[in-house]
Amino acid sequence: VDMRNHYESEIGHFKNAILPVVESFREELPLVRDLLKDKKDQKILLYCTGGVRCEKASAYLKHYGYKDVNQLYGGIIEYARQIK
């Protein structure tokens, strides 16, 4: 799940990523929870720009019973740094 702002996702995202279309992070959390409602027992990977939103989003999803929530360490910034 791409947890970045929609304009960042439009620049580029991972293939098959879920791209929530919202105006704010506050709107994004319940939407993502709803989009993943049938996946509570599946592995979920969140990614963000630097990782801060993913920290909050993963805690939010775990609070609602999602079992295996993961995140891209350091976000897209760290990922891009490592693949160069």
**What is the set of active-site residues?**
48
- Residue 21 CA to residue 73 CA, distance in Å, equals 23
> Nearest Cα to 33, choosing from 65, 10, 4, 55?
65
- Residue 55 CA to residue 83 CA, distance in Å, equals 22
